[in-house]
Amino acid sequence: MDNLQFFLDNLALFLPLVLLEFLLMIAAAIHVVKHPHYRFGTKAMWLLIVLLVQIIGPVCYFVFGRGEVE
Mean pLDDT of 2-22: 89
Torsion sign, CA atoms 54, 56, 58, 60: negative
Mean pLDDT of 22-48: 90
Mean pLDDT of 9-31: 92
Domain boundaries, the chain: 16-65
Asked whether the predicted pLDDT for residue 6 surpasses 80, the reply is yes
Asked whether the predicted pLDDT for residue 60 surpasses 70, the reply is yes
For residues 21 and 41, the model is more confident at 21
Burial (CB < 10 A; 0-12, 13-18, 19+), residue 33, is: exposed
Residues recorded for the chain: 70
Half-sphere exposure of 1 (CA within 13 A, CB side): 0
For residues 51 and 69, the model is more confident at 51
